[in-house]
Amino acid sequence: MSPATVVDLGLPVTVNAGTTTLINSFLVVGLAGELTAVSNVVYCRRPGSSTIAERIVTGQNVARGTKITLLTRGLVTAPAGNALNCRSYALFINHVSTRVFGTISVLPGTRLQVLARIRSSAQTWQPGQVLVSSSYSTPSVRFTAAAGASSIQSFGDVNVTVCYDGNTGGICAGAGSRRSRTFGYVGTQFSVRQLNANGKVCRTFVNHPLAGTVLTSEIHHLKINQSIVNIPITRSCTSRQFIASVRVTANRSANSVVVEANHQSVTGMYIKPLA
């Protein structure tokens, strides 16, 4: 495998000290000469420091001649005493190093979109890799909407990898992993629930019925972004607390899948800034 080529996309943003910003990085790539592993990463550092203080990561393989848009997003909070300077990067690895046309292009539409000065928020990252051979729910994030807010925003993103026969190590090579087929069939559904004061569910919101996606061993990695916007805070519920998570399933007639960690899978809720 060829070493990674790192491209600074030249899309800086500053998160002011003591504030939270929602960062949405859109990377549009295409015209790949070969199967290419593409990652979009957002690194945030304190002024004058090379140490990465916050990161958001997306990874996916891009087939030859295809065009895709990767959305990498997360809530970034700067500490009270320091701003954070964030930049978006693209990483490319040619998976067919014996061939000579290892090119890929960053296309128009690549951009960094920010929503600054989020009023309040909560966010949970996937803490470790999880093998899914049946069904799994990502770690829940809890959020209490502040008084005066009438609605909340939410997102639940997972980066998944399909297991396959070539896996000789790692979680896909372990017990219970199915990897004899050439594809996985992964289902996802994002749900947000408003609770009553006793902790029981009062109302449930979902982005759609459980939706399936075929993930071939060639593409191997896939980022699945999901959102539910403008969720009303219902007065008939006896608390303003919400809980959110992503359900991930692997069809038993296909290969197992892995939900990735390392700041690739995230669930968040927040209240928009005042206009």
Average pLDDT of the chain is 93
pLDDT at 1 over 60: no
Per-residue pLDDT tens for 108-130? 999 999 999 999 999 999 999 99
Which tokens in the block code for residue 254?
Answer: 């296909």
Q: In this structure, are residues 40 and 123 in contact, taking their beta carbons and an 8 Å threshold?
A: no
Banded pLDDT at 102 (limits 50, 70, 90): low
- Whether the pLDDT of residue 269 is over 60: the answer is yes
Cα–Cα distance measured from residue 141 to residue 66, given in angstroms and rounded to the nearest whole number: 35
Least confident of 46-60, 83-97, 132-146: 83-97
Q: Is the pLDDT of residue 53 over 80?
A: yes
- Is the model's pLDDT at 83 over the cut of 70? yes
Q: Tell me the CA distances in angstroms from 88 to 4, 43, 131, 232, 255, one per residue in order.
A: 16, 7, 29, 33, 33
Strand partners, 189: 247
Q: Is the pLDDT of residue 3 over 80?
A: no
Task: Read off the DSSP letter of residue 127.
Answer: -
97 pLDDT exceeds 70? no
More confident residue, 36 or 88: 88
Q: Smallest Cα–Cα separation from 157: which of 36, 11, 40?
A: 40
- Answer whether 259's CB lies under 8 Å from 136's CB: yes
8 A C-beta contact, residue 262 and residue 161 = no
Which tokens belong to 213?
């996606």
The pair of structure tokens assigned to 255 is 């290969």
What's this model's pTM, rounded to 2 decimal places?
0.92
Percent pLDDT > 90 in the chain is 82
**DSSP 8-state secondary structure symbol assigned to residue 1:** -
Complete domains list, the chain, with CATH: 5-115 (2.60.120.660), 120-271 (2.60.120.660)
Percent of residues, the chain, with pLDDT higher than 70? 96
Rounded Cα distance between 8 and 15, Å, is 19
Secondary structure element (H or E) that encloses residue 159, with its range: strand 151-162
- Say yes or no to pLDDT of 46 above 60: yes
Segment 141-163 shows an average pLDDT of: 96
